[in-house]
Amino acid sequence: MLRPTLLFSLLAASALAATSDQWRNRSIYQLVTDRFATPDGSSPSCDTSQRQYCGGTWKGVVNKLDYIQNMGFDAIWISPIVANVEGNTSYGEAYHGYWTQNINALNSHFGSADDLKALSDALHKRDMYLMVDVVVNHMAGTADPPNFSAFQPFSSQSNYHSECFISNYDNQTDVEQCWLGDKNVPLVDLDTEDSNIVSTMNSWVSTLVSNFSVDGVRIDTVKHVRKDFWPDFAKASGVFTIGEVLHNETGYVSAYTEVLDSVLDYPTWFPLVAAFQTTGGNLSALSATVQQAQSAYKNGEFMTGSFLENHDQPRFQSLTQDDALIRNAMTWPFVQDGVPIMYYGQEQSYGGGPDPANREALWLSGYVEDKPLVKHVQALNGARKAAISANSNYLTTAVKFLSSGSESTLAVSKPPMLALLTNGGSSSSPSWSVPSAGFIANEELVDVLTCNKLNADSNGGVSVQGSGGSPQVLMPVSSLSKSGNVCSDLATGGQASSARGWFGGAAESLPLIAAFLFASWAAQSSLIII
Ligand SMILES: *[C@@H]1O[C@H](CO)[C@@H](O)[C@H](O)[C@H]1NC(C)=O
Ligand SMILES: *[C@@H]1O[C@H](CO)[C@@H](O)[C@H](O)[C@H]1NC(C)=O
Ligand SMILES: *[C@@H]1O[C@H](CO)[C@@H](O)[C@H](O)[C@H]1NC(C)=O
Ligand SMILES: *[C@@H]1O[C@H](CO)[C@@H](O)[C@H](O)[C@H]1NC(C)=O
Ligand SMILES: *[C@@H]1O[C@H](CO)[C@@H](O)[C@H](O)[C@H]1NC(C)=O
Ligand SMILES: *[C@@H]1O[C@H](CO)[C@@H](O)[C@H](O)[C@H]1NC(C)=O
Ligand SMILES: *[C@@H]1O[C@H](CO)[C@@H](O)[C@H](O)[C@H]1NC(C)=O
């Protein structure tokens, strides 16, 4: 049942990729620098449909770190930082940062090198991490044919694959060698087979990381570059790498989990959105995909970026206005195996549709913290942190789906947490019947989203009657700390870990971690649904 190569990969990963391990317990807030905060706190208008720069900067981000940290995030992912196409194009300006012209200069709209260093320093003072978005696959032109001499440092036509726009996404050669974009803004495909380009890109990412003390790299359009380009690039970065592989199949995406530390979990995102955007969405399709990913990806689902929204997809709140569906869907990334990523503005109920509508200016919200979804996110981040500290095995224990009694409910178990989700919608009164939830008989539990108490039954199961279609995230009160920020009035935590036989703080040595990974992999393998 256990494949030795997979086991070896897990051991190797835990031995070498210390940076991955440092990201494992993090929670990431994704922002578009131009749209997050202005440097002087002003609130200029920002019509997303115009696709122009609106005035956000790195200094603006520094000024709003309290806002991000108060929600419980301890990392940010910022949009690309390098110099882009200047001026207007058929698709507006390069405010999003994905239209590189010069990889060795910064985008001055967002500030200076010192401003970016100051952002990195300010994050590190708060024990927060900085993830920077990088584009390797292409440069952006403004005409067809493009002006190659405008690109730096790759200013010759011979540095690029010859012009052809991708026409067949089922042909991987086409996907890797032809161009994204169109004749208005061609995304000119770098010849990433050329050894000079490879070594330039590798040393570039290395200096980018060291110049700005970057902690992690999000890599754009990964599936458009040959797979064997990535291991050396990731190694050169020296930090955690997470790749965008926009594809709905775990079988396709899994290959990229072999060449980068991690991927954004797009295969799960598709059924996640479908499951919660309407009542009656298919929850089994979501759990089935997660189980596939758990077995197909190199590190299971553990290091994947688990997200509901990003800058490329219509916001979830453009698909439904049902508050209960929204809160259930938002809960998912925080109770799943991967590293949660939340796209800025979701907490302020932003509901922009497809690009460019989904890149609203956050200053127009006033950054109000006393809002239901802001509180929801605070509770979710707080609960995840409590689970991590209550069970040092939490982050390497794979999510299991328990029988919950109905098609419109899910019971997601990741001890000491049991998330009860539903897509019944706000007019539903969901009930979950989870006979073997794994709690201690009759133990006191709390729904960390409301701080309502309940008890496990004599078999450690739960029967829960909900209301208003709300999700519930149950944890033993003994797993919450009185000094924590989650339902601390009820918390009785302190000795929870040893009393429950969880591994306490002494589990830091490599053999023990390896044993955890082995055990969780074994547990996970037996779960594979064929
Ligand atoms: C995450 O885990 C590391 C150990 O790998 C620990 O030093 C750090 O304090 C943890 N951070 C958080 C936010 O829990
Ligand atoms: C930018 O160019 C587009 C397409 O030509 C045009 O519709 C838009 O009005 C221009 N915007 C500005 C601010 O010039
Ligand atoms: C092409 O780019 C170069 C370098 O930026 C510039 O000097 C030249 O004017 C551009 N040519 C055209 C036709 O825009
Ligand atoms: C795949 O795409 C490449 C590049 O466009 C093309 O040369 C090749 O003929 C395509 N292969 C098939 C089987 O269509
Ligand atoms: C890093 O800094 C050096 C020295 O200032 C500079 O030459 C180099 O271009 C910078 N690299 C990046 C990617 O910013
Ligand atoms: C992925 O999308 C393609 C194209 O829409 C579809 O044919 C295929 O069934 C999807 N696969 C999964 C696993 O949903
Ligand atoms: C829901 O998804 C599962 C797993 O993909 C599939 O077997 C089932 O047929 C789907 N149910 C409906 C009603 O589409």
Q: Which domains does the chain have, with CATH numbers?
A: 402-497 (2.60.40.1180)
Where do the DSSP E strands lie in 338-484?
Answer: 339-343, 400-402, 409-414, 417-422, 431-434, 444-447, 452-455, 462-465, 472-476
| Region 20-49 average pLDDT | 97
According to the annotation, is 218 in a ligand binding site?
yes
The reply, when asked if residue 47 is annotated as ligand binding, is: no
pLDDT digits over 126-155, tens only? 999 999 999 999 999 999 999 999 999 999
Distance CA 141, CA 503 (A): 54
Residue 45 pLDDT > 60, yes or no?
Answer: yes
CA pseudo-torsion sign 59, 63, 68, 74:
positive
The ligand 4 atom at the shortest distance from the C-alpha of residue 177 is 4
> Sign of the C-alpha dihedral, residues 301, 306, 310, 315?
positive
Q: Which ligand is nearest to the CA of 201?
A: 5
pLDDT, tens digit (0-9, with 9 covering 90-100), for 272-304: 999 999 999 999 999 999 999 999 999 999 999
Of all protein residues, the one whose alpha carbon is nearest to atom 5 of ligand 5 is 211
Please tell me the residue having the least CA distance from ligand 4 atom 12.
Answer: 171
Q: Which two tokens stand for residue 204?
A: 């570039």
- The binding-site residues of ligand 2, defined as CB within 6 angstroms of any ligand atom, are 50, 52, 88, 90, 92
Instruction: Provide the CB-side half-sphere exposure for 24 (13 A, CA).
Output: 21
pLDDT at 455: 98
Provide the whole-model pTM.
0.91
Confirm or reject: Cβ of 208 under 6 Å from ligand 5: yes
**Binding site annotation covers 432?**
no
Contacts of residues 5-14 at CB distance under 8 Å and 24 or more positions apart, as own/partner, are: 6/298, 6/521, 7/518, 7/521, 9/258, 9/298, 9/299, 10/298, 10/299, 10/514, 10/517, 10/518, 10/521, 11/514, 11/517, 13/298, 13/299, 14/510, 14/513, 14/514, 14/517
Q: Check residues 20 and 150 and name the one with the higher pLDDT.
A: 150
| Residue 138 in marked binding region | yes
CA 390 to centroid of ligand 3, rounded, Å: 60
Scan for tokens 């609106």, then name that residue. 54
Q: 399-443: per-residue pLDDT in tens?
A: 999 999 999 999 999 999 999 999 999 999 999 999 999 999 999
Distance between Cα 139 and ligand 3 center (Å)? 15
Q: Which residue lies with its CA nearest to atom 5 of ligand 4?
A: 174
Residue 370, pLDDT score: 97
Instruction: Give the residue numbers marked as catalytic.
Output: 220, 244
